[in-house]
Each structure stands twice: as C-alpha cells, then as structure tokens.
Amino acid sequence: MSKPLVDRIPFAKILVVLAVAFGLGLGLCGLDFFLLLRGSQTHTQGFGVGPIGVLSLTVLILSGIGLVVATIVWVVLAVAGSASRKNSEPQQLLDDKDNEDFKG
C-alpha cells in the first residue's frame, strides 16, 4: 500500500517557500513605504504605483493566501490520515529484549 497523501506532499518545503516570498513582498512594501515617506526622487521613478509596488503587493497577497490555505490543508490531511489508521497496537518504548535484561 502506498504512503498516505500527507506523507507524499512536501508541505514543509511549500510553507518555507511561501514564507520567504511573503517576507520578500513585505520587505518590498516596506521599502516602498519608506521611500514614499522620505519623498525620494527615486520613488517616482520605480516605486509606488509602478510595477515594483504592484509586484510586491501581488506577491504579499498571494503568498499570504497560500500560507493560510497550505496550513489548513496540511492540518486537515494530517487529522484525516491519523483518524483513518487502524493500528490498534500500542507503541512500545522498550523492546522485550530490554525487559529480559532486568529480570535476571
């Protein structure tokens, strides 16, 4: 039988990439805001309503939504996967061999 879906999808890697993209978008928005407050001349050339401002907002919004959705899907699949397992045997912390060593 194949592994469960939650084990086949690399959720941790997906979340790391989305978090890095969110941080980059947040940094670009912060840089844009800082340049706007300073009244810098470079602000009118490339930031603000220009392509970098739109790009940073798009990356920020899409990665934020992706983070929320990926986290919810990961939790739902993990809960559904653990509920569907039919392993009724309890886990043993020590092997039976370890118990025999202490008896004698």
- Is 101 a member of any domain? no
- Domain interval for residue 59: 9-85
Whether the Cβ atoms of residue 69 and residue 22 lie closer than 8 Å to each other: no
Tokens standing for 77?
């699949």
Residue 46 has pLDDT above 50, yes or no: no
- Is 90 a member of any domain? no
- Is 93 a member of any domain? no
Q: In this structure, which amino acid lies at residue 41?
A: Q
Structural domain count of the chain: 1
- Is 39 a member of any domain? yes
- Is 91 a member of any domain? no
- Is 23 a member of any domain? yes
Mean pLDDT of the residues in the chain: 76
- Is 103 a member of any domain? no
- 68: Cβ contacts below 8 Å, ≥ 6 apart: none
- Is 69 a member of any domain? yes
Rounded Cα distance between 84 and 31, Å, is 48
pLDDT band at 47 (very low <50, low <70, confident <90, very high): very low
